């Protein structure tokens, strides 16, 4: 083995020069594949294929210059043992090229394992190469061993599957750039594998090897496919590999100079420290030069100025389609490719085009793809779907096909997908600086669209705030003030505290007939929820009561009133909002109160007695209004006497919670009313006591629901 590295075993020969074609072409392929970024699976298998072929090409190049037969035998023995591995790597490359690798990868790795056996057998035994002989042309060539035929058959078996699959797709697919790539790759592989004809020389068939020439031509065809036809779907140059080579080469050169200066008899630890210092010095020097160059270069080029223009002009825009049109123009100016932009709808899973037109469902991305694209910030290519999860690959391929697109760049922020840049240009136009510019444009577009969204939402909220303020003002004007409101023998006091700016509670007091006639209508209601929608329903309810009172006057019928209220609530609430209501007609002449309850809380009649205040609940049964239930509530009546006091309230009073979450409750309200001073039983006093009791229970806890309290009293006769 020492002779293999000894200069005495070699003597430069002019015949080695033409044989250098094959290794030179392979080194070009290896270097190009190593420094380019894109299609990692294709790059990996192509590198493996070329690296396994390279030993044979180098051995053939050195063969005319080798003067030692044993050295020639070792070179050819090692080189030929890698041929089966080159075959299976080539098959894997071909299958990956036509997107069939995942389907057959189990068989590929079995082939890799069996090819590895030949590496061991070929380098350690004479089973495949049994010595060498010198041809008449003056170069060394192998003699076939007893198992050489088996290695050849195995190599053919490892190769035939890839050739058959690639050939079928390349010859039967429809005309396209991809088909041209596949056909050129097929031709290059056929020419390279034709070099197996040299096996005949091992059996004394032929006079001069031609495999080196065919391998060289095949490698040159691969170079053309890589550079011109973009066989690897190259996206950008990866400078890490050449920089690493530069560092290592410079470090080796510097280390050699340093060790020569220090002398040959150095301790191992001095040599180690010297090598580390040399590598560190080279690394620091390269980094310093890179920083100087970076500082010397202008940070702003034409593409950066276009991006700045996109940001500056988009700031003044509030319309998403207009921003999308601007981005399209910027991309076209920057890289000469006019993309399409799809915009995600804020309200649903729908999509629109850059013009604002709704996108057909079959052209829109599936929600499952949207989630994956939202997490990805780099371009996705139709001819490079390996990074896509297996369960999404078919859906994404369909999206590409239906939109006639070759590339998609997600436009997103955080984990939200805002839009998509769709490009129909050939993938060869999207590489290097063009691809980087496109991805930076998508980032700026996302920022602009988000800014427009926030500005639009702010405007909508300001408009909504004005609408709420107007609704609250209108609602406050519709409801009576606290009072007292004196209607004949009755005095009424009431209050309304909304939980939000607009409330769902209402109350009203109306004289029936002529002023002082002695008949008064008191109505109180509670619409489900609170806010603008509930306020609209309460406004409709107040209007319905006003109409009924004006139309019927003294002859107002409570059933007709509830029917009118039900119609108003149903029309305005759309069947989605309901309202509880309690309506009572107080009649001083008849000394009675007639009432209906539509799902409302039961009010209390408070009566003075020698023992204090006596409570009676005015219980009525009926369904809430606005839900389309046709049953009319039953009209009930209760006699009243001078000094009696009626207390109405909404459920916000008894459901008011303290900081611990305990509600005020019916029992606490009843105890509060029973403890009233019978001598001070006036509407104002009772109203203030109830309000103070509820407020004390809440202890500063905010209102969870609207609170309305109404108190009415029949005046006592003068003594």
Domain of residue 42 covers: 2-236
Do 72 and 63 touch, CB atoms closer than 8 A?
yes
Model pLDDT, residue 507:
84
Where residue 350 sits, what CATH number does that domain have?
Answer: 3.30.450.40
Same domain, 32 and 177: yes
Same domain, 493 and 390: no
The model's pLDDT over 470-522, given as tens digits with 9 standing for 90+, comes to 655 565 666 777 778 888 788 889 887 877 666 678 888 888 876 656 788 88
Q: What is the mean pLDDT of residues 34-39?
A: 67
Task: Check whether the bond before 484 is cis (ω within 30° of 0).
Answer: yes
Q: What is the mean pLDDT of residues 367-383?
A: 80
Q: What percent of the chain has pLDDT above 70?
A: 82
Same domain, 178 and 259: no
Q: What is the DSSP string of 176-195?
A: SHHHHHHHHHHHHHHHHHGG
Specify the range with the lowest mean pLDDT, choosing from 34-48, 54-68, 612-626, 685-699. 34-48
Residue 242, pLDDT > 80, answer no
Residue 241 lies in a domain: no
Same domain, 492 and 609: yes
Name, in order, each residue with C-beta under 8 angstroms of 423's C-beta and a sequence gap of 6 or more.
Answer: 337, 339, 340, 405, 406, 407, 408, 409, 430, 438
300-306 long-range CB contacts below 8 Å, 24 or more apart?
A: 302/334, 303/334, 303/433, 303/437, 306/330, 306/333, 306/334, 306/437
- When comparing pLDDT for 555 and 649, which is higher? 649
* Other Cβ atoms closer than 10 A to 294: 9
Model pLDDT, residue 582:
92
Do 142 and 132 touch, CB atoms closer than 8 A?
yes
Q: What is the mean pLDDT of residues 10-30?
A: 74
- Both structure tokens of 358: 């709704």
Same domain, 181 and 148: yes
Residue 244 lies in a domain: no
Distance CA 479, CA 116 (A): 92
Determine the number of helices (DSSP H) and then strands (DSSP E) in the chain: 22, 20
Q: What is the mean pLDDT of residues 35-44?
A: 72
Name, in order, each residue with C-beta under 8 angstroms of 395's C-beta and a sequence gap of 6 or more.
Answer: 365, 366, 368, 369
Percentages (nearest 5) of helix, strand, coil residues in the chain: 55, 15, 30
Same domain, 328 and 351: yes
CA distances from 86 to 22, 89, 112, 510 (A): 15, 5, 9, 100
Model pLDDT, residue 230:
57
Judge residue 680's burial from the number of C-beta atoms within 10 Å of its C-beta, 0-12 exposed, 13-18 middle, 19 or more buried.
exposed
Q: What is the mean pLDDT of residues 325-346?
A: 84
Do 697 and 665 touch, CB atoms closer than 8 A?
no
Please report how the helices 177-193 and 211-227 are oriented relative to each other, as an axis angle in degrees rounded to 10: 160
Q: What is the mean pLDDT of residues 413-442?
A: 76
Q: What is the 3-state secondary structure (H, E, C) of 546-609?
A: HHHHHHHHHHCCHHHHHHHHHHHHHHHHCCCCCEEEEEEEEECCCCEEEEEEEECCCCEEEEEE
Model pLDDT, residue 610:
77
Beta partners for residue 144, in sequence order: 129
Model pLDDT, residue 490:
86
Do 596 and 558 touch, CB atoms closer than 8 A?
yes
> Nearest Cα to 235, choosing from 93, 43, 490?
43
* Other Cβ atoms closer than 10 A to 552: 15
Q: What is the mean pLDDT of residues 659-676?
A: 85
Residue 14, pLDDT > 60, answer yes
Name, in order, each residue with C-beta under 8 angstroms of 629's C-beta and a sequence gap of 6 or more.
Answer: 623
Residue 583, pLDDT > 80, answer yes
Q: What is the mean pLDDT of residues 681-691?
A: 86
Q: What is the mean pLDDT of residues 405-431?
A: 77
Judge residue 336's burial from the number of C-beta atoms within 10 Å of its C-beta, 0-12 exposed, 13-18 middle, 19 or more buried.
exposed
Same domain, 632 and 522: yes
User: CA-CA-CA-CA torsion for 324, 330, 336, 339, nearest 10 degrees?
Assistant: -10
Do 413 and 447 touch, CB atoms closer than 8 A?
yes
Same domain, 514 and 585: yes
CA distances from 269 to 253, 266, 276, 418 (A): 19, 8, 11, 60
Beta partners for residue 607, in sequence order: 614
Do 680 and 469 touch, CB atoms closer than 8 A?
no
Residue 470 lies in a domain: no
The model's pLDDT over 179-204, given as tens digits with 9 standing for 90+, comes to 777 788 788 878 877 777 777 777 77
Cα angle vertex 329, ends 323, 335, to 5°? 130
Residue 286 lies in a domain: yes
Same domain, 312 and 287: no
- Both structure tokens of 626: 């606005």
- Both structure tokens of 187: 């031709």
Question: Domain tally for the chain?
Answer: 4
* Other Cβ atoms closer than 10 A to 687: 21
Residue 256, pLDDT > 80, answer no
Residue 469 lies in a domain: no
The average confidence (pLDDT) of the chain is 79
Model pLDDT, residue 294:
55
What is the three-class DSSP state of 455? Answer: helix
Same domain, 222 and 263: no
- CB-hemisphere CA count at 13 Å for 4? 9
Judge residue 272's burial from the number of C-beta atoms within 10 Å of its C-beta, 0-12 exposed, 13-18 middle, 19 or more buried.
exposed
Model pLDDT, residue 240:
55
Residue bearing tokens 């042309």: 137
Distance CA 73, CA 81 (A): 12
Same domain, 553 and 424: no
Cα angle vertex 308, ends 351, 448, to 5°? 30
Same domain, 310 and 425: yes
Name, in order, each residue with C-beta under 8 angstroms of 346's C-beta and a sequence gap of 6 or more.
Answer: 453
Q: What is the mean pLDDT of residues 46-63?
A: 84
Where residue 557 sits, what CATH number does that domain have?
Answer: 3.60.40.10
Residue 719 lies in a domain: no
Residue 55 lies in a domain: yes
The model's pLDDT over 539-560, given as tens digits with 9 standing for 90+, comes to 888 888 888 888 877 888 888 8
Positive or negative torsion for Cα 265, 271, 273, 279 = positive
Do 323 and 317 touch, CB atoms closer than 8 A?
yes
- Both structure tokens of 681: 């039983």
Q: What is the DSSP string of 55-106?
A: HHHHHHHHGGGB--HHHHHHHHHHHHHTHHHHHHHHHHHHHHHTT-HHHHHH
**Binning pLDDT at 50, 70 and 90, where does residue 425 land?**
low
Model pLDDT, residue 503:
65
Residue 382 lies in a domain: yes
Do 251 and 279 touch, CB atoms closer than 8 A?
yes
Do 409 and 438 touch, CB atoms closer than 8 A?
yes
Residue 719, pLDDT > 50, answer no
> Nearest Cα to 683, choosing from 713, 709, 708, 653?
713
The model's pLDDT over 130-179, given as tens digits with 9 standing for 90+, comes to 888 877 777 777 888 888 888 888 888 988 888 888 888 888 877 766 77
Distance CA 584, CA 587 (A): 10
């Amino acid at each position: 083995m020492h002779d293999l590295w000894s200069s005495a075993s070699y003597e430069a020969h002019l015949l080695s020069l033409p044989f250098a074609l094959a290794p030179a072409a392979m080194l070009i392929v290896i270097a190009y594949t190593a420094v380019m970024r894109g299609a990692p699976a294709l790059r990996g298998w192509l590198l493996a294929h070329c690296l396994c072929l390279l030993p044979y090409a180098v051995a053939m190049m050195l063969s005319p210059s080798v003067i030692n037969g044993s050295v020639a035998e070792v070179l050819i023995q090692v080189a030929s043992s890698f041929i089966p591995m080159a075959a299976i790597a080539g098959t894997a490359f071909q299958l990956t090229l036509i997107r069939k690798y995942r389907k057959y990868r189990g068989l590929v790795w079995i082939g890799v394992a069996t090819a590895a056996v030949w590496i061991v057998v070929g380098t350690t035994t004479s089973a495949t190469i049994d010595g060498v002989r010198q041809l008449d042309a003056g170069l060394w060539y192998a003699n076939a061993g007893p198992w050489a035929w088996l290695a050849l058959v195995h190599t053919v078996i490892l190769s035939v599957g890839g050739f058959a699959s690639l050939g079928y797709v390349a010859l039967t697919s429809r005309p396209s750039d991809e088909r041209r790539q596949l056909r050129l790759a097929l031709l290059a592989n056929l020419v390279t594998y034709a070099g197996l004809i040299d096996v005949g020389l091992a059996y004394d068939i032929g006079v001069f090897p031609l495999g080196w020439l065919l391998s060289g031509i095949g490698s040159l065809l691969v170079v053309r496919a890589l550079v011109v036809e973009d066989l690897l779907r190259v996206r950008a140059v990866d400078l890490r590999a050449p920089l690493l080579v530069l560092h290592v080469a410079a470090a080796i050169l510097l280390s050699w100079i340093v060790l020569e200066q220090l002398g040959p008899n150095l301790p191992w630890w001095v040599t180690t420290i010297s090598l580390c210092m040399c590598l560190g010095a080279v690394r620091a020097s390269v980094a310093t030069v890179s920083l100087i160059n970076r500082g010397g270069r202008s940070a702003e080029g034409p593409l950066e100025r276009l991006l700045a223009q996109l940001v500056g002009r988009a700031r003044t825009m509030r319309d998403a389609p207009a921003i999308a049109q601007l981005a399209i123009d910027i991309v076209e100016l920057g890289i000469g490719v006019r993309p399409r932009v799809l915009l995600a709808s804020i309200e649903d899973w729908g999509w629109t085009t850059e013009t604002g037109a709704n996108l057909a469902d079959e052209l829109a991305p599936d929600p499952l793809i949207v989630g994956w694209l939202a997490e990805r910030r780099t371009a996705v290519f139709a001819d490079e779907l390996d990074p896509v999860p297996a369960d999404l690959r078919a859906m994404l391929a369909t999206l590409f096909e239906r939109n006639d697109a070759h590339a998609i760049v997600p436009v997103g922020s955080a984990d939200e997908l805002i839009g998509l840049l769709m490009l129909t240009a050939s993938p060869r136009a999207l590489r290097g600086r063009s691809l980087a510019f496109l991805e930076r444009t998508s980032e700026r577009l996302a920022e602009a669209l988000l800014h427009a969204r926030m500005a639009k939402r702010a405007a909508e909220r300001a408009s909504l705030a004005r609408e709420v303020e107007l609704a609250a003002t209108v609602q406050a004007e519709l409801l009576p003030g606290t009072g007292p409101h004196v209607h004949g023998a009755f005095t009424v006091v009431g209050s309304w505290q909304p939980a939000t700016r607009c409330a769902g509670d209402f109350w009203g007091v109306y004289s029936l007939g002529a002023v002082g006639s002695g008949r008064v209508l008191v109505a109180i209601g509670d619409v489900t929820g609170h806010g603008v929608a509930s306020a609209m329903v309460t406004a409709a309810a107040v209007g319905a009561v006003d109409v009924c009172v004006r139309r019927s006057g003294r002859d107002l019928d409570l059933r007709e009133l509830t029917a009118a209220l039900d119609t108003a609530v149903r029309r305005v609430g759309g069947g989605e909002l309901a309202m509880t209501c309690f309506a009572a007609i107080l009649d001083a002449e008849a000394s009675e109160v007639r009432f209906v309850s539509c799902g409302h809380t039961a009010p209390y009649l408070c009566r003075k007695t020698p023992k204090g205040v006596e409570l009676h609940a005015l219980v009525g049964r009926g369904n809430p209004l606005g839900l389309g239930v046709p049953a009319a509530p039953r009209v009930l009546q209760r006699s009243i006497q001078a000094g009696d006091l009626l207390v109405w309230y909404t459920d916000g009073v008894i459901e008011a919670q303290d900081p611990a979450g305990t509600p005020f409750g019916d029992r606490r309200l009843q105890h509060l009313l029973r403890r009233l001073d019978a001598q001070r039983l006036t509407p104002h006093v009772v109203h203030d006591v109830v309000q103070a009791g509820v407020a004390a229970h809440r202890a500063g806890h905010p209102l969870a629901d609207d609170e309305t309290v109404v108190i009415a009293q029949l005046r006592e006769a003068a003594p």
